[in-house]
Amino acid sequence: MSTMTQTAVQVYTVFIKATPEQIWGAITKPEFTAKYFYGSQVDSTLERGTPFRGWSPDRAQLWADGEVLDSDPPRRLSYTWRALYDEETATEEPSRVSWEIEPQEGGVSKLTVVHDQLERAPKTAENVAGGWMYILSGLKTLLETGEPLQV
């Protein structure tokens, strides 16, 4: 096994007191993503093979571009991803983002984000490492309190 493959995968997980449907909505609806995903608005029909995009808050700039690979509401969503918000990451090859939602006992769901295929996107890998924990923490706060994280 090469070192390359290992560093090219990032895994994040968080337990949220919310239903899988609520979490699915928070991931796929722009009015929600605007509150925890650096203000960006998701834009996708979620059909396989169609674009998966993220716009700046004023919708003037395309911050992220990709294609839906797999969509199984409310359990699994996977898409390719290019970070266009940064000059250096914008030129890299697309990576892959997968969201997995598993219901647990007591009205809690386990949300896992796997960001992989980062072999040819080392700058993106570096760029998103801190971002995901901020995003997932914000998503948890939003769903559990109804309020965006105060920063």
Q: Which residues pair with 77 in a beta bridge?
A: 71, 99
Nearer to another protein, 3 or 58 (CB): 3
According to CB under 8 A, which residues from 16 to 75 bind another protein? Answer: 17
Backbone angles phi, psi at 26, to 5 degrees: -65, -25
Nearer to another protein, 17 or 85 (CB): 17
What is the pattern of x (binds another protein, CB under 8 A) and - over residues 74-113? --------------------------------xxx---x-
Nearer to another protein, 83 or 118 (CB): 118
Distances (CA, A) of 87 to 37, 61, 91, 127: 19, 13, 7, 12
Tell me if 141 sits within 8 A of 133, measured CB to CB. Answer: no
Rounded to whole angstroms, the Cα distance separating 77 from 98 reads 6
Which residues sit at the interface with another protein, rule CB under 8 A?
A: 1, 3, 5-7, 9-15, 17, 106-108, 112, 114, 132-134, 136-137, 140-141, 144, 149-151
